[in-house]
Amino acid sequence: MSRDYHILVVDDNYGIRRFLKEFLTQEGFYVTEASDGMSALKLAIEEKPSLILLDMRMPGISGMQTIAKLRDLVPKTIVVAMSAYVNARDIREALQEGLIQHFIMKPFDLVEIRVLLNDLLNNLFRIQS
């Protein structure tokens, strides 16, 4: 079932993008990547990924601005926020206000990522069926 899902990895750090792409590809997902919010928005419109892993701190438009635009452009796409700065005020507020439903702390725990993505995508599959 994993191959049916497209995941877009958005992070300004090349090493993190490559690491996640390699891991997720080995998990059986189709993976594309973007290095900033503007590229992510373009790819999201063109490719309509099932899920987006989105870094919250990037140059250019922020993760929060990108999430707001993604909600309008691809409302059915699941967005999982990622950050090493869990105590950042904007992330706490976004979680409390429901702007972010899913959050992954950096550095990553691959088991946590695997479980979260499988749960989210299995729920998406059940909803679509």
Domains and CATH numbers, the chain: 2-128 (3.40.50.2300)
pLDDT given at position 53: 95
pLDDT given at position 1: 47
Pick out the chain residues at pLDDT < 70.
Answer: 1-3, 86-88, 90-91, 125-129
Whether the ω angle into residue 107 lies within 30 degrees of 0, i.e. cis, is: yes
Model pTM?
A: 0.88
pLDDT given at position 46: 96
